[in-house]
Amino acid sequence: MSDDFLFADESDYVEPLVHGSWKILIVDDEPEVHAVTKLALNDFIFQGKNLEFYSAYSGAEAKTLIQQHPDAAVILLDVVMETDDAGLLVASYIREQLRNERVRIILRTGQPGQAPERQVIINYDINDYKSKTELTAQKLFTVIMSSLRSYRDILSLEQSRQGLEKIITASTDLFTAHSMEQFIDGVLQQLTSILGCDENALLVSSSLVAGNIAGDAADPRKLIVFAGQGEFESKEGQPVQDVLAPELMEAFDKALHSKGIVYRDNYLVAYCTSKFTHGSLLYISGLPGVVGENQKRLIELFSQNVQIAYENVQLQHEIEDTQHEIVYRLSEAVEHRSTETGNHVKRVSYICYDLAKAYGLAEDEAEKLMFAAPLHDVGKVGIPDHILNKPAKLQADEWEVMKSHANIGYDILKGSKRSIIQAGAIIARDHHEKWDGSGYPAGKKGTDIHLYGRIVALADVYDALRHRRCYKTAWPLAQVLALIDSESGKQFEPKLVEIFKQRVDKLEAILQKYPDTQK
């Protein structure tokens, strides 16, 4: 046998990439301990992150330090400092007062008799207990490594819990824009947690409305941020070129044109597609290392399904918008029988919404009123043209026929199970009632008149007076204000009149935005 040993040539050492750091708090009243600890762990790297050290030399300083750095991963804590139990008091303060259960606490003591290990382990929520004499450089390396792994796993579990909580919360009302953003944010958080990434993640889309995909959607500079985490948390709605650095834009461009996933040293860009649209991309940064096959399959699954979920919500919005537009257009058709102008019902809707919010109605109630308001005069379909369009004053019998449109509208709409149509029925019935009880069809008085009807009554009269009709010219604003003010407590609720007068500038802006148009 040969006495020669053959050794493979040593490969050149490759400096590991470092992305971020783990915070280590050193609490000890001996400066030498701080220096030796930093020296022993100087080249320590875990999951692409090095160590960032912070020092405290007493229990009081330690309490301040942990308050300033609640994201610390490990605290190396001396027991005996200004008092024999200073370190134990710090441990108790961290767990019981700050409620910080994430940081890993390693007690180090040069006087084990002062704090027996069994008693400390039982009475205090610490994670390890070491005598300074036994804590060699290698053992220090080992205990820091195991503590960081525990801290990483705790963060991963916490992020998963938070992501799951967001998804569960969002699932109760998924088909609204706000809940969809919350849902995607939760899924992003789950994905970054599973991959072991940091908190920077981004979803961008070629459109915020499903189906609105232009021929130039393949240009990544047409993409818009839909959801973000970490540094992208406040970037929703912005063009992606205003958010990303040039090297990231290059990766986005490559993923978009290859319709695949682009992996770089510490981030990835994944293309998201479905049978309806194209052009969405997912960006996640802070990858801890090489992405395994299981993780790649997870990313691919997410890429396929997140776009479908996004589009389902957008399609729901499209259906709702279509329903609202049908209500507007049918209501305008009714108005066109009695006027040469348009946009009356649209103006009344926005005026009602503004007054309802100022009155104190919740957002969902104000929106319901806005969408139902166009139906206020739907009963006019049952009024003959010679009465509806008569430019002269109506005779008594003709006026009785005209007044019947309130009950006709109510009868048309009252059988619906849809909340907006039900609100429309109430409005059609009550919007000609008067605060003093002199209105029609039932002569209701005060708060017996539904609030929807009271608001629409004021909005309808205001808009009608400010515009030309077949029987009148448009009134100047001063004349309209004078009449409405004189009808406070008579035709209109006094509180509404006061709100109206305070907001008349905003209401006039609505009239300017939606002017009448000739047939």
- Active site positions, annotated: 380
Structure tokens belonging to residue 154: 């705790």
Residue 443: CB atoms within 10 Å: 12
Cβ-Cβ contacts under 8 Å for 409 (sequence gap 6 or more): 375, 376, 377, 378, 379, 380, 424, 425, 428, 429
Torsion of CA 82, 88, 93, 94, to 10 degrees: 110
Among 381, 336, 344, smallest CA distance to 456 is for: 344
Distance CA 169, CA 165 (A): 6
Q: Is 100 exposed, middle or buried (0-12, 13-18, 19+ CB in 10 A)?
A: middle
Is residue 105 a contact partner of residue 75, using CB atoms and an 8 Å limit?
yes
Is residue 482 a contact partner of residue 476, using CB atoms and an 8 Å limit?
no
User: Over the Cα atoms of the chain, what is R_g?
Assistant: 35
* Residue 416: strand pairing partners: none
Distance CA 269, CA 384 (A): 65
Structure tokens belonging to residue 361: 């109605």
The DSSP-derived string for 217-259 is: TTSGGG-EEEEEEGGGTT-TTSBGGGTS-HHHHHHHHHHHHHT
- Is the bond preceding residue 384 a cis peptide, omega within 30 degrees? no
Among 376, 284, 270, 314, smallest CA distance to 179 is for: 314
> Which runs of consecutive H residues, i.e. helices, occur in 337-362?
344-359
3-state SS, 456-512, equals HHHHHHHHHHCCCECCECCCCHHHHHHHHHHCECCCECHHHHHHHHHCHHHHHHHHH
Cβ-Cβ contacts under 8 Å for 442 (sequence gap 6 or more): 429, 433
